[in-house]
Amino acid sequence: MAKAPLISIITVNLNNLEGLKKTMQSVFEQTWQEFEYIVIDGGSTDGSKEYIESNKDKIDYWVSEKDKGVYNAMNKGIKIAKGEYLYFLNSGDILYDTLTLKKIAPNLKGNDVVYGNLIKVYRDERGEQVDKGVNGEDVSLKTFIKGNLNHQATFLTKNIFEKYGLYDESLKIVSDWKLYLIALGLNNAKVKYKNIPIAYYDMAGLSSNIRLRDEERRYVIKNEIPLPLFLDYLELRRLEEKLNSPRYQKFEQTDKKGISRKLHSIIFRLFS
């Protein structure tokens, strides 16, 4: 029986031939090759299918057929993946360099989720910007209420999907965020950060639609987070903002002085 690969790389594509070429080439050029490569095409008519087929000797599994959207296509890949860890590199996304997988692979074992840095590519004066996600900070419910991990720079055990379910296909752009929220924000999945660049990501895509993202996140929060827990979070966040306010910080500084401390003590007694 063949040994299962450490990583399954899953590429989803629909009529993005030029982006697909760059993505697949970045995978083929990796110096570390202990992975399987899966390409899920949504029945493209722009030559993508033919390009995939011409490289089938370098691909472990591929299919070209109509699907129900990007998360439906990703779920197809998850179901047939044999790797211990899954990594999603969709058409147009490019691995940082030929050593990317070699650098990240030794850090995977013993963790449920491992993430690195994403190079976001803007089509304006901003150019390329490095996004380190939460940059190694403790991951909690707060992480996902305020932000996210970068999907294109994150490796997940297949066990995560077996335990918490596949991507929610009713969502258009935040299903990966929903999975992180449940696995990491509400449960105790083990996460690790490595200061390693993983991939380039074109910010012109659908997932940069901030309005839709926020609408879908509010829907998920309402349905997945118990109300008492969410209310406690809001109260703690209010207190945190108050403690971090310039007014309170000034109070803290003056309170270190003897006369000010006495004055504050009198004020507190008067109003307690």
Is residue 141's pLDDT more than 60?
Answer: yes
Residue 265 in tokens: 């003590």
Domain positions in the chain are 7-225, 231-271
Is residue 1's pLDDT more than 50?
Answer: no
Cα–Cα distance measured from residue 139 to residue 143, given in angstroms and rounded to the nearest whole number: 6
Q: What angle do CA 19, 150, 154 make, to 5 degrees?
A: 90
* Helical ranges in 105-245 per DSSP H: 141-146, 158-164, 175-180, 210-224, 227-243
Question: SS in 3 state form for 50-87?
Answer: HHHHHCHHHCCEEEECCCCCHHHHHHHHHHHCCCCEEE
% of the chain residues with pLDDT over 90 = 66
39-95: pLDDT as tens digits: 999 999 999 999 999 999 999 999 999 999 999 999 999 999 999 999 999 999 999
Q: What's this model's pTM, rounded to 2 decimal places?
A: 0.84
Residue 217 in tokens: 């996140």
Give the pLDDT band of residue 243 (cuts 50, 70, 90). Answer: low
Handedness of CA 20, 23, 26, 28 (dihedral sign): negative
Is residue 18's pLDDT more than 70?
Answer: yes
Q: What CATH number labels 7-225?
A: 3.90.550.10
Give the pLDDT band of residue 166 (cuts 50, 70, 90). Answer: very high
